[in-house]
Amino acid sequence: MLLPLLQSPWGAVAFVPLYALWVTLLLPGVWASMLAGALYGTAWGSLIVFVGACLGAEAAFLLGRHWWRDWARRRLAAVPRLQAVEQAVSREGLRLVLLTRLSPAFPFSLLNLAYGLSEVSLRDYTIGLIGILPGTILFCGLGALAGDVARFGEVLSGEADAGTWTLRVLGVLATVGSVWLAGRAAQRALTPPDGP
């Protein structure tokens, strides 16, 4: 009974603020993204997650900048890599925001706080959120694929189209490869060069 409600248009609309709240509370969004993919498919799930993640990220950024400043500084002190990002963002702005969003090495939720503490503008921060799209599509695609795997028996018995199922698997593998390559490129760009 709950599943049809979640898969309804109203369920999809309700998923957006729930996802935003999830992100604002600094909880990891991987499982929620995969759930969205399983419920709504890769395309719609990605759109729903992207909107929810952006709303939650904006809320965490503003909370970090205005209300949670002291608490956030103490929290980030335990993660030297994020402190370095906070300092570099003030110098690099949009470029660094975009690169750190592409790299899976940086935790999404804590980055929102780090950016709130930095001098990056709200405009650059918001534009940089486009960098979460590859990861969003990947995890929603994995969720959609997990739903297909649950129905794999239909493929084996000839009840479902094996070609479509194969294309979905290849699409997820291509997305994994793309995210991995983008993450490696972002890591290289964020790593300071050796020597003087």
What confidence tens digit (pLDDT) does each residue in 81-94 have?
666 666 666 667 78
Residue 44 included in any domain: yes
Residue 1 included in any domain: no
Average pLDDT by consecutive 10-residue portion of the chain (196 residues)?
A: 78 92 84 90 93 94 82 72 66 77 76 81 91 86 75 50 60 61 60 57
The domain of 123 spans 8-190
Number of alpha carbons in the 13 Å side-chain half-sphere of residue 126: 8
Residue 104 included in any domain: yes
Residue 62 included in any domain: yes
Region at 106 (left for phi over 0; alpha for psi -120 to 50; beta for the rest): beta
| Token couple for 17 | 């603020």
Would you say the C-alpha torsion 89, 82, 29, 63 has a positive or negative sign?
A: negative
Residue 96 included in any domain: yes
| Token couple for 139 | 């995890």
Residue 195 included in any domain: no
CA distance 107 to 143: 20
Q: At what angle do helices 162-190 and 133-150 cross, to 10 degrees?
A: 150
Residue 3 included in any domain: no
**Number of structural domains, the chain?**
1
Residue 196 included in any domain: no
Q: Could you report the per-residue pLDDT of 57-103, keeping only the tens digit for each?
A: 999 899 888 887 777 677 767 777 666 666 666 667 787 788 878 77
